[in-house]
Structure formats: structure tokens, C-alpha cells
Structure 1
């Protein structure tokens, strides 16, 4: 968060596992798949989260019916703050549904895109340290998971995500492990290496712009995307909230921004393989209600792989409401 001089200092006590950001990520092996949902469901999800924190100056809008599903195995993560860097490092795997969204403002009576963000709307991770730090400091909507994904350099033929959940919702249902989704290679094709992150993004947009459901962009938004090619980064936006003691009120609700600064791309490729994403009904995590991704089989668009080093920066508050 931005420095608030009127707030008390955060207490670092023995046994507390909250580390200060920023942190650096080395050898992050990411596979990505665009999966089509429903833009009205995605907008409803944004309205229930980011747009709950009201502003007279701006609101957030879904840009696409597509979500980006990523599986990322990060070999080495550590805080960049010396005090915490000395404690050690960890491996982390993130499986995320990303939503491309715009911060909308009104100028001369017309709505304009002020900034474009990627919203990691639902995240599962493989270790508790990552979950606690991500939720409490940045506001990431993280949950623990079991997963399967290929090792770096292997044929990407199978991915799986399983989660502790209630299925179905019922007073007699005991929480158990359930599969939420899997990704299967159904037809092998070519792999097209690209020189760097910039080229990967450019090629992605060449492919995706032919789909009229993909992006709703004006000239200002397109300029921002092109400017981002010069210094590659993913601008993340997050909905952070903390409940009160009975869970009915929020003592804090805020929208925060945290850039992922890409420091080095080791390799990047776009796959011509065909992948199917199979989604299963889980009442605890209803992807159909959340993003319009119905149970069943979905053909993935623009599968890719990138191996990179990046820094996750501090979270900076855009807007908030604080209770007493």
C-alpha cells in the first residue's frame, strides 16, 4: 500500500510470517490458455468486487468475454527487502483466472479508458506462506490447491486443478477434494518460439483481434497497450477487504494496484497445439456464476508458454473505505 503516515506501524512479532514486498520471482514457467466466458457475468463479478468501492470519478469495466487461465511454476521467490530476504526463499505454483479490465473515466461527457489492468480474480496456490502473504498484504483472492502440470521442457499434455470444496451445497455435505478443471492436449501441432515478451504480446493481439468478442478498446486503450511493449509489465488490480468480527461488515475495503515488472524472458512460444479445458461443477467455486464458464469442455484459444524472471511490486491504493 502507499505509505499512510496516520496509520499505526504494522507489528512484526516472533512467529509472524508476513514479509514486506516487493518480491522477486526467478524462473517462472507459465502456461496460458484463453477461455471464453460471458462478459455480462464477468461484469457482474467486477461489480461485486472492485466496483463495490464507490468513486465519483471512475469505475471498472470488463473488456472481454475471455478469461486468461494460467498455470505458473515459480522456482524461486524471495522478498527484496533485506531483513526478509535473509530468511530464505520458496517455490510457488499459481493457477489463476485473469480478467482484462479498464478503469473508465468521463471526459467531455464521454466515457474513456483511463488505464487497463489485469485482474487476478481467482487464484489457487500450493503453499500456505504464499496464501497468507498474498491475501493479507496485496489482497489476492488465494486458496490452497493440488495440481498437476508439466515440467519445464516437457510436452504440455495435461494440467489439473483440485480443491477442497463443498459439492453439492447441503447441510450433509462434508468438505472433500474435488477436481475443478483440467486441460488436455487433444491435437499436437507446431511450437512457434518468439524472441522476447514484446513479440509474444504482439503476435497474441494479431491472433485475438480477429475475434470481435475479445477486446472492447478505444484508441487511448490501444495506445496504452503499445506503450506497454517498451517496458513490459502486467499491471495488476486487486480487491482487498478485511471482515469485522462477525463477518457481516468490512473494516477495510480497497482497490489496489501492483505492477509485475518483467526483468528477463528466458524463452517464449505460442503453441499451435489444440487444448480442451474441461470445467467441473463445484458449488463452492461456481465458475459459471463467476465468469460465465459453464461446466463442460471449452476449446482454449492462443495457448502459450513463457519462462521469465519478474518482480512483484508493492500494492498501491487506488481507492478505499475504512471502518472504525
Structure 2
């Protein structure tokens, strides 16, 4: 449900700032991982499809999701008076699902757009968490993490959160490691000449599963991280005081506009994801990642500036 429209109150001490916001020197590492289509679709059905517009549904695309670690040097609102309040550093660890928008009824259905769905997000500061959840509807949580400053040394990543390892009456909230990504010594090298072909490289990975999606539409989705826009789809909701009803529930979209690419690298060494079972964040049940070690594909690094635009109803 969508509640009646009322003016949002930016009262004193409320940390909410208005979009859009500028992200400067965002250093992103990305890795494609195999997922399970049935589990991903169940997650989409329990989120996006609950609030989908009439005659519209969303479907997962293919058998690969994307894991990114992004260190953003500087974030600031571009809207007055919040553009005068200051800036912050933010780190995002995100699991992205490629999602198709299907419009129509019965046998008259067509895929009209492809989106990236940031289905799982962890961040490192409270301003990022509050603004992301309240304004855009990002499913954000706080975390501790490790990631390299540059792609020229050993590339090891980890993420840990305060959570429940097991659900049980005597289980205490503690910090637990969710997953790691580990490689050998990196000799990754700049491949600027291949930047325009990056979407095609990933499209080839997806095409191995014989997707029945127009190739041009698939390339539009998969090149969005580097040129010129990445379309995000979001599930935003807030519960009532009992946790039974949604006082607000909607599907939103928010483009990321790439302003400048400073550098781009395809990373050479093999990478492995090692996932631990945490009942609070059961990624195996949510997306079909495997408990334990599994390979990752097409690792890349990109440094860029981009704007995150406001979120609008689909």
C-alpha cells in the first residue's frame, strides 16, 4: 500500500538530506557469482512483486549475481541547503540481482526494461544507513569490512556484522563473519581499450545460459556500471507499530549517472568466495550462493564519479 501524500518534515536534528547526491572517487571491485534462479525468484516475489504496478511483474535474469565492494571517498548532497552541510566517506558492500520488468497479461507479455536490484547492502556509517533506507528504500545494514585500497596488491575482502549466527532463545547478538573473497597476488592491469566491450564480455557470460532476452537489452543492463547510467530498482516499505501492516510499500527506481571514469581494470587472478551460514543473513537461502568455497567470475575494478538520483515510483 502507498499512504496518503503529506509534506515530509525536515525537523531539526533529522539527518535526512535530499537527493541527488554526488559520489566522488568511488573505487569499486566487482565479482560475478553463480546464483539459483528459483531462490532468487522467491526473493523477488517476496519483495518487488508484492508492490508491483498493475499488469507488471519482475523476474530474475540468468544464473549470475554481482558482488561489489565500493569505497566512496566523498559523498555530498547536490540540493540546497544540504549541499552546505558537509560530506562523508562511505563504503558499500552490495549483492546485485539482474531483474527484468515484464509488462502485459496472459500470452501478451514483453520485457520492457532491465534493472539492477541491490537486494543486500551493508555500509560503514549511520548517515549512509539512515538516508539510504529512509529516502531510497535501500535494504542497508551496518558492517565491518576489509578491502584493499588499490588493485596492485593482494586482493582480499571480508565482511562481518553484528547478528545471530543461529536463531535460538539463548543466542546472543555478536559479530560474525559473513563471507570472504580471496585471491593470490594480483598483477591486474589497465585495459582502458576494453572498457566499451565490458558489457559484451558479461553478456557472453550470461548468454551461456541461453537467455531468451534481446541481446541489445542485455548489453544495456550489463554495461550500465561504466557507461553511462545504471538503473536501480528498489523495494521500499515501512511497518506499522505492530509490525503487521505496511504503512508504506512501493517499487521505486533510481538511476546512477556515471559522470567520469578515472580508471578501469580487469583483474587477472582467480577469486573465490567463501560463505558462512548466518541465520540473520542466509545468503544461501536468499540467492543460492553455496556455503563454503565457490569460484567468482570476470573480476573487475573501476574508479569513477557518479550521481545517485532521486527515487521515483515505477
Shorter-normalised TM range: over 0.9
Query: 1:288 is paired with a residue of what secondary structure?
Result: helix
Query: 1:82 is paired with a residue of what secondary structure?
Result: coil
Counterparts in 2 of 1:159 and 1:229: CA distance versus 1, 3 Å: closer
Distance in 2 (alpha carbons) for counterparts of 1:308 and 1:227: 14
Distance in 2 (alpha carbons) for counterparts of 1:98 and 1:236: 9
Distance in 2 (alpha carbons) for counterparts of 1:300 and 1:223: 20
Counterpart check, 1:62 vs 2:80: no
Aligned to 1:304: 300
CA root-mean-square deviation? 2.3
Measure how far apart 1:243 and its partner are: 0.3
Query: 2:81 is paired with a residue of what secondary structure?
Result: helix
Asked whether the 8 Å contact 2:271–2:296 carries over to 1, the reply is yes
Query: 2:166 is paired with a residue of what secondary structure?
Result: coil
Measure how far apart 1:232 and its partner are: 1.2
Which of 6, 18, 38 aligns to 1:20? It is 18
Measure how far apart 1:197 and its partner are: 4.8
Distance in 2 (alpha carbons) for counterparts of 1:183 and 1:269: 18
Counterpart check, 1:211 vs 2:208: yes
Distance in 1 (alpha carbons) for counterparts of 2:214 and 2:275: 33
Distance in 2 (alpha carbons) for counterparts of 1:203 and 1:49: 30
Counterparts in 2 of 1:225 and 1:92: CA distance versus 1, 3 Å: closer
Measure how far apart 1:218 and its partner are: 2.9
1:229-262: per-residue Cα shift (whole Å, max 9, x none)?
A: 9961110000000100011110111000000000
Q: For 1:72-221, list aligned pairs within 5 A.
A: 72-106=70-104, 109-186=107-184, 188=186, 190-195=188-193, 197-206=195-204, 208-209=205-206, 211-212=208-209, 215-218=211-214, 221=217
Tell me the matched-pair count: 312
Aligned to 2:244: 248
Asked whether the 8 Å contact 1:45–1:290 carries over to 2, the reply is yes
Measure how far apart 1:186 and its partner are: 3.8
Superposition TM-score, scaled by structure 2 size = 0.93
Unpaired segments of 5 or more residues in structure 2?
none
Distance in 1 (alpha carbons) for counterparts of 2:135 and 2:171: 33
Aligned to 1:278: 274
Asked whether the 8 Å contact 2:154–2:185 carries over to 1, the reply is no
